[in-house]
Amino acid sequence: MKRLTYARVVAVSALVSQLLIPHNASFATPVSQKLARSSSSITFGVDSPAPVLTMRGDVKTFGGSVVLDPDLNTISDINLSIQLDSARLPPDQMLQNIFLQSVIARLQQRIATFRSTSIDHLSGDDFQAHGTYTWHNKSRRATIPFRLVRTSPLATEIRVLMRGSLTEANTPRELADSAPGASQSAGWAQGKFVFVK
């Protein structure tokens, strides 16, 4: 019987490991990145026949983080938070928009959060994140579409565009009474989120 020399043991171990471990397996550690506020932005708008609802603005205070999966070169987790009462309008719009002033007053110190539970790749750079949206101590399932603009261990950028509209059924009665045409309103919000290590 041939003696198993150290060199033979190493060679056999290497062969076994190649057979047992897939060739495309990787052990890269997920990278956590935090939101770079100075490079990020959230803007919103509402288009409506009711002048009191037509607006353009932005959000001042928000934060978040992502976890980057180096193996797949994509994101495996998204966590966002938005200080709702930090929504702002240009001064000329704010003076005219009594309705928005009352809305922001009701949102004092309230934070909306989104935490992903899974992320699907749609096509190209387009993805959608499924997760939990929480606001005012109430949570519900939500899906957020996003585009992965760039990704690296140093910086990741995603773009989000959400659209919605009011209908006769989901327009609050007090809003319908004070703003005729509110039920024909269409709104959007878009975010540019840059995360860095």
pLDDT in tens, 82-118: 998 888 877 777 655 666 666 666 666 688 899 999 9
Q: Is residue 2's pLDDT more than 70?
A: no
| Structural domain includes residue 2 | no
185 occurs within a structural domain: yes
Q: What angle do CA 137, 165, 157 make, to 5 degrees?
A: 70
Angstrom CA distances, 147 to 15, 73, 160, 188, stand at: 42, 14, 7, 16
- 0.85 surpassed by pTM: no
- Answer yes or no: are the C-beta atoms of 103 and 71 closer than 8 Å: no
Q: Does residue 5 lie within any of the structural domains? A: no
Q: Which of the pair, 95 or 22, is modelled with greater confidence?
A: 95
Domain range for 96 is 27-196
Interval 72-86: pLDDT, tens: 667 889 999 999 888
76 falls within a domain: yes
Please determine, for residue 180, whether its predicted confidence score (pLDDT) is greater than 60.
no
Q: Is residue 66 included in any domain, yes or no?
A: yes
Question: How many Cβ atoms from other residues are within 10 Å of residue 196's Cβ?
Answer: 13
Counting the structural domains of the chain, the total is: 1
Q: What pLDDT score does 126 carry?
A: 94
pLDDT of 34: 96
pLDDT band at 153 (very low <50, low <70, confident <90, very high): confident
The span from the CA of 142 to the CA of 36, in Å, is 24
What was the pLDDT predicted at 196?
Answer: 94
Instruction: Measure the CA–CA gap between 117 and 147, rounded to whole angstroms.
Output: 17
CATH of the domain at 189: 2.40.128.110
Tell me, yes or no, whether 16 lies in a domain: no
Query: Is 119 among the domain residues?
Result: yes
Is position 9 within any domain? no
On the question of pLDDT at 176 being above 60, the answer is: no
